[in-house]
């Protein structure tokens, strides 16, 4: 890592740490607290909205990248969409909004980014990914942000990996995301003193989705290796949602049926967050090894990895009778 990269990482780490500290003071002063309850994962009232520090760090990185490395329509659209997702999350952290309104803003933000990628002569597949990836991951990160340290640690790992595989101003954005999450984590582990909130979880998911789309545009189908470290979140969120739809449940409402929730009830937040982090680190390591291989090898590796993750999801869900809301709910869908 160059001295410039080290300096940037320290800057964004400082913004994440200091910004979270300030956000906690603000939340306490405004009484922005998540109270304990049967759909909550904590036992004491805890401030929310700490993810605003991560948002600020990423926007600072965009500004620096634009000035030092040259901007572009895609970077401008990313910043606009990222700010929109963060803003609707910030408002929702203060005053709950309807899911339909939040989804509408998420769709708009993703459409803006996809339109910019299309204007930059992106291939149709890349444009589709530029719309779907931010939209899907915005909500996946929100769904999976339910226990101490989980969403931030995953973003730290994935953001760090993206920083190694992108060109132009985008590595700086990914570095800011990873470093700011590292600055946030001391307040969210080992027992949370502040939660990320929708302002953080939604914005993180949007950023990772957009960066994955950029990686696809720069690397073509070979960028599929990025799906490996995303497997823990995509499999848990995707299979849990599919099961709820098949059961004809109100899948858009809060629940306690994710695999990480079932594990947290049995083993606690720290062990589950560590387990997911190790799985993501393993996926990142394999991704770095195989990213130079041919597409067929990447495809076979992805199939094997995701099938293994799906089998593990089933074991985690159904061992010891887990996987239903009846098993001592202890989480919250939205911080």
Question: Are residues 49 and 63 in contact, defined by beta-carbon separation less than 8 angstroms?
Answer: no
- Residue 325 labelled as part of a binding site: no
Non-local (6+) Cβ contacts of 116 within 8 A are 73, 74, 76, 77, 78, 130
The CB density around residue 60, as the number of other CB atoms within 10 Å, is: 18
- Tokens standing for 144? 């999976």
Question: Are residues 173 and 159 in contact, defined by beta-carbon separation less than 8 angstroms?
Answer: no
Backbone φ and ψ for 195, nearest 5 degrees, come out as -100, 155
Question: Are residues 147 and 331 in contact, defined by beta-carbon separation less than 8 angstroms?
Answer: yes
Nearest Cα to 220, choosing from 317, 294, 310? Answer: 294
Q: What SS3 state is found at 169? A: coil
Residue 175's alpha-carbon distances to 7, 63, 227, in angstroms, are 11, 14, 19
- Residue 334 labelled as part of a binding site: no
Residue 40's alpha-carbon distances to 267, 274, 330, in angstroms, are 16, 20, 5
Q: What SS3 state is found at 34? A: strand
Rg (CA), the chain: 19
Residues in the chain: 335
Q: What SS3 state is found at 33? A: strand
Binding-site members are 142, 198
Pick out the residues of the known binding site for Mg(2+): 142, 198
């Amino acid at each position: 890592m160059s001295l410039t990269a080290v300096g940037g990482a320290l800057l964004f780490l400082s913004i994440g740490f200091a910004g979270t500290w300030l956000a906690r003071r603000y939340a306490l002063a405004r009484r922005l607290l998540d109270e304990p309850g049967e759909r909550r994962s904590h036992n004491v009232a805890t401030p929310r909205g700490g993810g605003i520090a991560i948002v600020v760090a990423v926007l600072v990185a965009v500004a620096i990248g634009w000035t030092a490395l040259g901007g572009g329509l895609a970077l401008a659209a990313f910043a606009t969409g990222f700010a929109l997702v963060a803003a609707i999350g910030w408002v929702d952290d203060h005053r709950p909004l309807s899911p339909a309104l939040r989804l509408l803003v998420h769709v708009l933000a993703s459409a803006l980014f996809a339109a910019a990628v299309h204007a930059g002569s992106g291939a149709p597949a890349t444009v589709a990914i530029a719309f779907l990836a931010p939209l899907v991951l915005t909500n996946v990160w929100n769904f999976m942000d339910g226990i101490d340290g989980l969403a931030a640690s995953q973003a730290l790992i994935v953001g760090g990996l993206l920083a190694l595989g992108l060109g132009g101003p985008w590595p700086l954005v990914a570095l800011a995301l990873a470093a700011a999450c590292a600055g946030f984590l001391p307040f969210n582990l080992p027992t949370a003193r502040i939660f990320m909130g929708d302002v953080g979880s939604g914005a993180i998911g949007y950023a990772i989705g957009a960066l994955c789309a950029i990686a696809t545009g720069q690397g073509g189908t070979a960028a599929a290796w990025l799906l490996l470290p995303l497997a823990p979140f995509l499999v848990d969120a995707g299979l849990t949602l599919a099961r709820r739809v098949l059961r004809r449940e109100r899948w858009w409402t809060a629940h306690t049926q994710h695999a990480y929730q079932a594990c947290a009830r049995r083993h606690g937040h720290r062990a589950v967050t560590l387990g997911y982090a190790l799985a993501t680190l393993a996926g990142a390591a394999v991704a770095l090894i195989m990213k130079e291989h041919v597409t067929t090898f990447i495809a076979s590796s992805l199939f094997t990895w995701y099938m293994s993750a799906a089998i593990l999801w089933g074991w985690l869900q159904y061992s010891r009778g887990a996987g239903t809301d009846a098993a001592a709910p202890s989480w919250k869908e939205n911080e």
